[in-house]
Structures are given as structure tokens and as C-alpha cells.
């Protein structure tokens, strides 16, 4: 696949590789760093994401609750204005429909959110029946439900879109889960280059 250097997008879907400070050596063994390379907030803010944006652009960004403040800062640093929480993924167990019970320093974490930011005019909403909450099973570490990509397309239509920090394999069975999306990440074949 040849990476595109100059394409701009109506929609950016991002799952930043947040660096999370843990309190113990035991916590380090369970952290994201064990599964993939994380980045500091300074590095993420320094990325030239503005070069990927059309004048009117929507950013949908995954955030965990401990990194919520960083996510809001990052959206602003990339030139976007926070609007709302687009999606809340309540994780279920892989083998049954019961709510997954994760780790946490205070309460046991079992949900992640997708924040919605805009730059310029908001994208036109194509469908008005897209639910915010998704109950779906956990996959591999940091793997996000494919249903969120589908809901994004139903919500905004077939616009120019890119997924940043993609970490999943691009095919499930014989189908490409990134069909219609450009991608950038250290575990996928990049279809774009982010300018310096």
C-alpha cells in the first residue's frame, strides 16, 4: 500500500497510545506498555494532525477516565473544540453477556468513552437514531469494538475518514475492518503519512 502524503479528512477517529503512570511494579505488568508503545502527551500534542484536517473536521477520540484531562488537552492542542461524549463502551465478558470487571485504583473500570470534538462547522448528522451506549465484549488488549466504526459511518455518512493509532489486525476472516478508512499506526500498514 502506498501512503498518501497530502490527503485531508472530514473525520478523524483516534485511539491515542496514552502513557499511564502506575503506582507499583505489579501495575506496570498490567499496563499498556506491556502490549504496545505508548507516547507522552507532549509527543502527541506535537504531532501535525492539523495537516490532516479539512477546514470543517470532526475528531472522535477514545479516552479512558484516568486520561480524560489529557484527552481534552490533546483535542484542543490539535485545534479542536470539545462538544460531547459520542460513545460509551460498557465492556462485557468475552464468554458471556455479564459486565466485565476490570482493574482500577478506586472503582473497578469497565467502560471507555469516545469524545467528540469539532473544528469549523460540525459534520452533518446523517442518522438520528445512533445510540451512545454500546454493550460489547472485550477483545485483545486495547482492541476497540468494530461496531463503533460502523456507528460513526452511519452517523456521518461516507466521508473522507482516517483512523489514527490503529492497532488491530486489518482483517477478520476475509473482510477488511478498515474498509473505507485510511489508517495510521505502528501495527498496521499505514495508508497515510503525517507530515512533520
Furthest-apart CA atoms within the chain: distance in Å: 47
Mean pLDDT lowest among 23-27, 83-87, 113-117: 23-27
Is the confidence at residue 149, as pLDDT, over 80? yes
Would you list the domain boundaries of the chain?
9-184
Give yes or no for a contact between 167 and 16, defined as CB atoms under 8 angstroms apart: no
Give yes or no for a contact between 172 and 143, defined as CB atoms under 8 angstroms apart: no
Q: Which long-range contacts (CB under 8 A, 24 or more apart) does 184-189 make?
A: 186/36, 186/37, 187/36, 189/1
Q: How far is the C-alpha of 106 from the C-alpha of 103, rounded, in Å? A: 9
Q: Which residues, in sequence order, are CB contacts of 69 under 8 Å at separation 6+?
A: none
Tell me which of 31 and 94 has the higher pLDDT: 94
Q: Which residue is listed with cell 472530514?
A: 10
CA distances from 147 to 43, 89, 121, 152 (A): 29, 10, 26, 9
CATH code assigned to 9-184: 3.40.50
Q: How far apart are the first and last CA of the chain?
A: 21
Tell me which of 64 and 37 has the higher pLDDT: 64
CA distances from 121 to 9, 51, 118, 183 (A): 14, 17, 7, 24
Q: Which residues, in sequence order, are CB contacts of 86 under 8 Å at separation 6+?
A: 60, 114, 115, 116, 132, 155
In percent, the amount of the chain with pLDDT more than 70 equals 83
For 11-60, the pLDDT digits (tens) are 999 999 986 655 556 545 544 555 457 789 999 999 999 999 999 999 99
Mean pLDDT value of segment 173-188: 77
- CB neighbour class for 124 (10 Å; exposed up to 12, middle 13-18, buried from 19): exposed
- When pLDDT is cut at 50, 70 and 90, the band that residue 5 belongs to is low
Count the neighbouring beta carbons within 10 Å of the beta carbon of residue 179. 10
pTM equals 0.85
Amino acid at each position: 500500500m502506498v501512503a498518501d502524503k497530502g490527503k485531508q479528512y472530514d473525520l478523524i477517529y483516534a485511539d491515542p497510545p496514552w502513557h499511564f503512570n502506575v503506582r507499583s511494579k505489579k501495575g506496570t505488568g498490567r499496563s499498556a506498555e506491556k502490549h504496545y508503545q505508548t507516547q507522552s502527551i507532549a509527543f502527541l500534542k506535537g504531532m501535525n494532525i492539523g495537516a490532516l484536517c479539512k477546514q470543517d473536521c470532526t475528531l472522535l477520540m477514545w479516552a479512558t477516565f484516568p486520561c480524560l484531562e489529557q484527552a481534552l488537552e490533546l483535542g484542543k492542542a490539535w485545534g479542536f473544540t470539545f462538544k460531547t461524549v459520542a460513545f460509551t463502551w460498557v465492556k462485557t465478558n468475552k464468554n458471556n453477556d455479564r459486565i466485565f470487571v476490570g482493574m482500577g485504583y478506586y472503582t473497578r473500570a469497565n467502560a471507555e468513552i469516545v469524545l467528540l470534538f469539532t473544528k469549523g462547522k460540525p459534520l452533518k448528522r446523517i442518522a438520528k437514531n445512533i445510540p451512545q451506549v454500546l454493550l460489547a465484549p472485550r477483545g485483545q488488549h486495547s482492541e476497540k469494538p468494530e461496531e463503533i466504526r460502523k456507528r460513526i459511518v452511519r452517523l456521518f455518512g461516507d466521508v473522507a475518514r482516517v483512523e489514527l493509532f490503529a492497532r488491530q489486525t486489518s482483517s477478520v476472516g476475509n473482510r477488511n475492518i478498515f474498509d473505507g478508512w485510511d489508517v495510521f499506526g505502528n501495527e498496521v500498514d499505514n495508508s497515510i503519512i503525517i507530515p512533520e
